[in-house]
Amino acid sequence: MFTRRVLLGRGAVASFLWPAAARAARPAGPAAAAPLVMLDPGHGGKDPGAIGVSGTYEKHVALAAAQALRQLLAADGRYRVELTRTRDVFIPLEDRVAAAQQKGAALFVSMHADALADHAVRGASVYTLAEHASDAQTAALARRENAADRFAGPEFRGTSPEVARILASLVRQETRVGSARMARSVVGALGHDLPLLENPSRHAGFVVLKAADIPSVLVEMGFMSNRQDEAALRQPAHRAVVAAALRRAIDAWFAQAGPRPDGVRTAG
Ligand SMILES: [Zn+2]
């Protein structure tokens, strides 16, 4: 994998994965014709993610929901689908992005159910990468989410707001447009069946959304800090509703992008 390490001042170093590396690694032949959707169940292993008011771990809910969505997406062969993790294992944020890059993913969907300070707040929401956070609640969410790498050891503790700003500035305009369109698609699909957070489409410096050339969104399926959301997300039937809505969002996103000559890149 081709990475470039960049010194960002005050000792912070970030590794950037360049699109050329992803293109070189893309497999050839008929198997590559279906676009790859990379699902990213948040947290895992020593990082439990948010712990719900009655003790549910976000990492378990995220993996179960991603597996349900993979099953739906893979059913008719329109997509190839991979997960950044398929078991309860810790994966640093950068490695999640790297996996999507290396495999030439057309779309990256990170799945979470984090916690907020205000336990009354509930509902689904979707996040895209931006230099400046859309609101204080989202800024706090991104800080907590980016802090997942504190479990990885000292070499990963480079995720300052400054780093997040630089990462955001490297994302290509075409990718931003594709991410924003996916966020609208997710809000439309989720809002049909589920309660949504107020202003459900938000943005901040999420490290896991930093792929320069892959449209990326982070979905909060609900919040572990809210008793109703936690109880719902514990239920397979509720996760199936979430997965079905996300499948509609993904279908709509690809349908709107239209077929591309290479059959893989649909960032626009
Ligand atoms: Zn999370």
Tell me the CATH number at 42: 3.40.630.40
Q: How far is the CA of 31 from the centre of ligand 1 (A)?
A: 32
Q: How far is the CA of 127 from the centre of ligand 1 (A)?
A: 12
Number of residues assigned to the chain:
268
Per-residue confidence (pLDDT) for residue 190, from 0 to 100: 96
Instruction: Give, for 202, the enclosing helix (H) or strand (E).
Output: strand 196-204
Say if residues 247 and 70 touch (Cβ distance below 8 Å): no
Whether 4 maps to a domain, the answer reads: no
- Number of domains the chain contains: 1
Per-residue confidence (pLDDT) for residue 267, from 0 to 100: 46
Per-residue confidence (pLDDT) for residue 173, from 0 to 100: 87
Q: How far is the CA of 157 from the centre of ligand 1 (A)?
A: 17
Whether 28 maps to a domain, the answer reads: no
Q: How far is the CA of 233 from the centre of ligand 1 (A)?
A: 14
Per-residue confidence (pLDDT) for residue 25, from 0 to 100: 46
CA–CA separation, 86 vs 63, rounded Å? 7
Could you tell me the strand order of the sheet in which 124-129 lies?
A: 80-83, 36-41, 107-112, 216-220, 124-129, 196-204
Q: Which residues of the chain have pLDDT under 70?
A: 1-32, 153-167, 258-268
Residues 6+ away with beta carbon under 8 Å from 261: none
Whether 131 maps to a domain, the answer reads: yes
Sign of CA dihedral 231, 236, 239, 245: negative
Whether 65 maps to a domain, the answer reads: yes
Whether 119 maps to a domain, the answer reads: yes
Per-residue confidence (pLDDT) for residue 3, from 0 to 100: 47
Q: How far is the CA of 61 from the centre of ligand 1 (A)?
A: 10
Whether 10 maps to a domain, the answer reads: no
Sign of CA dihedral 114, 115, 121, 122: positive
Q: Which domain holds residue 66?
A: 34-257
3-state SS of 114-144 is CCCCCCCCCCEEEEEECCCCCCHHHHHHHHH
**Tokens 């990468």 — which residue?**
129
Whether 163 maps to a domain, the answer reads: yes
Ion ligand 1 — residues with CB under 5 Å? 42, 49, 112, 114
Q: How far is the CA of 110 from the centre of ligand 1 (A)?
A: 9
CA–CA separation, 150 vs 153, rounded Å? 6
Say if residues 186 and 69 touch (Cβ distance below 8 Å): no
Tokens of 99: 């996996």
Say if residues 101 and 70 touch (Cβ distance below 8 Å): no
CA–CA separation, 19 vs 171, rounded Å? 11
Which CA distances in Å does 244 have to 87, 114, 117?
Answer: 22, 20, 29
Whether 21 maps to a domain, the answer reads: no
Closest CA to 110 of 191, 22, 12, 179: 179
Per-residue confidence (pLDDT) for residue 153, from 0 to 100: 66
Q: How far is the CA of 145 from the centre of ligand 1 (A)?
A: 6
Phi, psi for 47 (deg, rounded to 5):
-105, 105
What's the whole-model pTM score? 0.83
Sequence-ordered strand ranges (E) for 88-235 = 107-112, 124-129, 196-204, 216-220
